[in-house]
Every structure is written in structure tokens, then in C-alpha cells.
């Protein structure tokens, strides 16, 4: 049996896809220790894993990022991105302080910068990257350029990248005692493999990248999220459009959820909203709108004709698992990258914006519902995911080094 160390940031979108892999490893008899934040200690202990809680200097509360990450409050846009990347690197020694021991394999969150230190060591365990974020190395990233607009975008990225990435790269040099030999964010390219939780049709071609496409792993069942009283309304008489701003970026539902409700109020569809702890504006809802805090995606998504999302990578791939075409509007964190992949893959409409008007959303949702090419492409990606490895094969890949790569 193998001894596996799993390192994952304390964020729902990171923990959700990691838990099924940990559970499968434990079920196969392997020893598993998990490094994560205090907020998710119990979630992994309930599976039977040993849990090592991150020191306060590396831990944070995803529901109160400004309060739990000193120096973050007040920063916006590229200034926030610049700060957060440097902050990820600053956590490296604190992460390493709870990663001691003899392990055969380390499964590492791509934003867990202890991975950078590990891949540089001459004698180390196998290091595999948990691919629950868009695969971005080499940084800067982007689809193969197709025209002038793509070349201009690439030029802007090249111009801004040194300023955005510079503080984090300098911090990496200081902590590692010299040039790391790579851009700090590109360490997954130097790992022994990336367990990318999607299919080849949703990621740009990366010749030579150590990608193993394992499909989405998150499980969202009625046992975790009970069905609401109105569930019987999803009876197939009207197309169902699911609307969500994800599990974290729901402090202001006027960016996407509320405009989508306004956009679809007069349409012959059933709008199913998850607000994930957010609050809708006061007042009555349109007759065709149903609302819940959370819903079981494995029950909901097979009933959906389209999904409107702010671009969380996990949620988008969960939708594609069931062949659901997408309208994505998002620009924070990795959302811009997800929107770009939705456009590039042909599985929907992706817009790298922080918000959208009801008029624009109505136009985009109608396009996705009325043009069969979007649903056909989403179903093609669903078939790719279904043809991927089983969880038993993922366990074998992690513990025995077996290759399961589909490029």
C-alpha cells in the first residue's frame, strides 16, 4: 500500500473535487494524510484520513477573505491579483512545516506553493498536481491565436505579466535561496503528472505537458443537499435554466443572478437559482423562478437545458459531464480563463466580464437554447468525460504510476 499526502487549500471549489479521490484512496487501503485549513478538517477526518491543519500564516477563511488575509482588503483588479499571487508564495514555508514524513506520493493543489519547493528537490516522492483549476502553465497562457484580436490579447498579457507576477517571483527567489529555475506558477509542468479534472476538448492543446484527463470528480447528491419542496416542478414541461454565481462569489447577486432572473422572467423556461448563502433583493420573484441555497447537481443538471454561471471551473465541468451548454460571465480569479475555454470549446458563450445586463443575458441564453450546435458540442464533451478513467484507474495512476493520458 502507498502512503499519500494530499495538500489542498481550504476552499470549497478545491476541497469538493479532492474528497472523492481521498475517499477512493482510503477505500483501496492506502494511507492518506491531508494538509488543509481548519475549516475543512472534519470533512476529511470523517472519511478516515489523518488531517494536518495549516498554520495560521497559511490558513484562511474563504467566506471572509478580506478579514482572514491581512493586506487584501481594498485591493481590486490587477492589484488584487498581484497581491494574491505573492501571498500564495509567502505561504510556502508554513505549508512545508506540516508536510514532514515519508510519503510515496504527494497530491498537491496547483496554488499550494510547497509544490514548487518539492519539484526542485533531487530526492523526493512522486508529486502529482490536482487539476481542479484551468491548466495555465506555461504562464502567460491562452488559446492558439486565430486572428488579430488574439495576437493583441497575447501582446497585452506579455506587457502586463512582469508587473503582475514580479512580486511573487521575487518572493519565491528569497524563500528558495536563489533562482527557482522556473516561473513560480509553472511548477505543475515539472511535476510527475497533472490530474486534470476535465476532458481534452475543454483544455487548449499543450504538447509535452504531463496531463492526465480524469474528468470532473465532484459528487453532489441529494444526501448532501436535500431536494426542495418545489422539486416536482422540474417535470420536463419547460426547459430548465440553472443560474448560479458559484459557492464563493455570492456577496453581490446583482452581478449575474438578479439580471438573469430579470432576463428570463418573460421566457417559457423554468429558472432554477442557487444563491449559495447570498441574498436576493427584496420583493416577489417571477412566477417561473425557483430558488434554493444549494441543490444536488447530480440530480439537477440532467434536467437542465442550459446553465448560466460565473465560471467556476468545477461547476462548469460538472455541467459538461451531463451535456449542458453554458452561458458564462466572469472575470475574477480564474473565471476569465474558464469563459475563454467555453468559447474556444464551442460548448457555450463565454464573456470575460464582471457582470451582465438582462438584455445581454436574454440574448445569450436564447442563443444557447435555440442553436443546437451548443448542446451537440456539450454532449460531445460529456462523451469524452464518460470515456475517461474510472476512479479505480485514478487510484492506480496515483499509487502505482500507471499512465492514463488522453491528449
Q: Which residue has the higher pLDDT, 223 or 352?
A: 352
Cβ-based neighbour number of residue 237 at 10 Å: 8
Nearest in space to 211 (alpha carbons), one of 192, 225, 224: 192
- How many CA atoms lie within 13 Å of 181's alpha carbon, on the beta-carbon side? 11
Residues, the chain, total?
A: 407
Whether the per-residue pLDDT at 144 is higher than 80: the answer is no
Q: Where are the domains of the chain?
A: 3-215+388-400, 229-386
- List pLDDT tens digits, range 269-307: 999 999 988 889 899 999 999 999 999 999 999 999 999
Whether the per-residue pLDDT at 404 is higher than 50: the answer is no
Fold exhibited by the domain 3-215+388-400? Rossmann fold (3.40.50)
Lowest-confidence pick of 146-150, 203-207, 212-216, 219-223: 146-150
Helix (H, G, I), strand (E, B) or coil at 306: strand
- List pLDDT tens digits, range 328-384: 999 887 899 999 999 999 999 999 998 999 999 999 999 999 999 999 999 999 999
- List pLDDT tens digits, range 191-217: 999 999 999 999 998 888 899 999 999
Q: What is the mean pLDDT of residues 113-123?
A: 96
Domain 3-215+388-400 identical in fold to domain 229-386: yes
121 by Cβ neighbours in 10 Å (0-12 / 13-18 / 19+) ranks as: exposed
pLDDT of 403 reads 46
Measured on CA atoms in the order 40, 33, 97, 122, is the torsion positive or negative? Answer: negative
DSSP per-residue codes, 316-377: HHHHHHTT--EEEE--STTHHHHHHHHHHHTSEEEE--S---HHHHHHHHHHHHH-HHHHHH
Containing H/E element for 53? strand 50-53
In this structure, what C-alpha cell is assigned to residue 238? 419547460
Residue 140: which pLDDT band, with cuts at 50, 70 and 90?
A: low
| Nearby residues of 30 by Cβ (< 8 Å), 6 or more positions away | 1, 2, 3, 4, 395, 399
In this structure, what C-alpha cell is assigned to residue 261? 432572473
271-293 burial code (b ≥16 CB/10 A, e <16): bbbbbbebeeeeeeeeebbbbbe
C-beta of residue 347 within 8 angstroms of C-beta of residue 199: no
- CATH number assigned to the domain covering 229-386: 3.40.50.2000
C-beta of residue 199 within 8 angstroms of C-beta of residue 217: no
Q: What mean pLDDT value characterizes the chain?
A: 92
Radius of gyration of the chain (CA): 21
Containing H/E element for 5? strand 3-7
β partners of residue 196? 131, 213
- List pLDDT tens digits, range 160-185: 788 889 999 999 999 999 999 999 99
Q: Rounded distance, CA 263 to CA 241, Å?
A: 12
20-56 burial code (b ≥16 CB/10 A, e <16): bbbbbbbebebebbbbbbebbbebbeebebebbbbee
Amino acid at each position: 500500500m502507498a502512503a499519500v499526502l494530499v495538500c489542498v487549500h481550504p476552499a470549497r471549489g478545491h476541497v469538493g473535487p479532492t474528497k472523492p479521490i481521498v475517499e477512493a484512496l482510503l477505500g483501496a487501503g492506502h494511507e492518506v494524510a491531508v494538509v488543509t485549513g481548519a475549516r475543512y478538517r472534519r470533512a476529511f477526518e470523517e472519511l478516515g484520513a489523518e488531517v494536518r491543519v495549516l498554520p495560521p500564516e497559511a490558513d484562511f477563511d474563504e467566506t471572509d477573505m478580506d478579514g482572514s488575509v491581512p493586506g487584501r482588503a481594498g485591493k481590486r483588479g490587477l492589484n488584487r491579483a498581484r497581491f494574491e499571487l505573492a501571498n500564495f508564495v509567502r505561504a510556502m514555508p508554513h505549508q512545508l512545516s506540516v508536510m514532514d514524513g515519508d510519503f510515496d506520493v504527494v497530491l498537491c493543489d496547483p496554488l499550494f506553493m510547497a509544490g514548487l519547493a518539492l519539484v526542485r528537490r533531487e530526492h523526493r516522492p512522486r508529486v502529482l498536481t490536482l487539476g481542479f483549476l484551468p491548466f495555465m502553465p506555461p504562464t502567460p497562457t491562452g488559446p492558439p491565436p486565430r486572428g488579430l484580436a488574439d495576437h493583441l490579447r497575447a501582446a497585452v498579457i506579455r506587457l502586463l505579466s512582469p508587473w503582475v507576477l514580479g512580486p511573487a517571483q521575487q518572493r519565491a527567489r528569497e524563500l528558495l535561496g536563489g533562482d527557482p529555475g522556473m516561473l513560480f506558477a509553472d511548477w505543475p509542468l515539472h511535476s510527475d503528472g497533472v490530474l486534470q479534472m476535465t476532458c481534452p476538448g475543454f483544455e487548449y492543446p499543450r504538447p509535452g505537458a504531463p496531463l492526465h484527463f480524469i474528468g470532473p470528480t465532484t459528487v453532489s447528491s441529494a444526501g448532501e443537499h436535500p431536494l426542495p419542496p418545489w422539486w416536482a416542478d422540474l417535470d420536463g414541461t419547460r426547459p430548465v435554466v440553472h443560474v448560479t454565481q458559484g459557492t464563493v462569489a455570492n456577496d453581490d447577486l446583482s452581478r449575474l443572478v438578479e439580471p438573469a432572473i430579470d432576463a428570463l422572467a418573460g421566457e417559457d423556461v423554468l429558472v432554477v437559482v442557487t444563491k449559495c448563502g447570498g441574498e436576493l433583493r427584496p420583493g416577489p420573484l417571477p412566477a417561473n423562478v425557483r430558488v434554493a441555497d444549494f441543490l444536488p447537481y447530480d440530480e439537477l443538471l440532467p434536467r437542465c437545458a442550459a446553465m448560466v454561471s460565473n465560471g467556476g471551473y468545477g461547476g462548469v465541468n460538472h455541467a459538461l459531464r451531463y451535456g449542458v451548454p453554458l452561458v458564462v460571465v466572469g472575470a475574477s480569479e480564474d473565471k476569465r480563463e474558464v469563459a475563454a475555454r467555453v468559447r474556444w470549446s464551442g460548448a457555450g458563450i463565454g464573456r470575460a466580464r464582471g457582470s451582465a445586463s438582462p438584455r445581454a443575458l436574454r440574448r445569450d441564453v436564447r442563443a444557447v437554447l435555440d442553436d443546437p450546435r451548443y448542446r451537440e458540442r456539450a454532449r460531445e464533451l460529456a462523451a469524452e468525460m464518460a470515456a475517461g478513467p474510472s476512479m479505480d484507474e485514478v487510484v492506480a495512476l496515483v499509487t502505482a504510476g500507471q499512465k492514463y493520458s488522453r491528449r
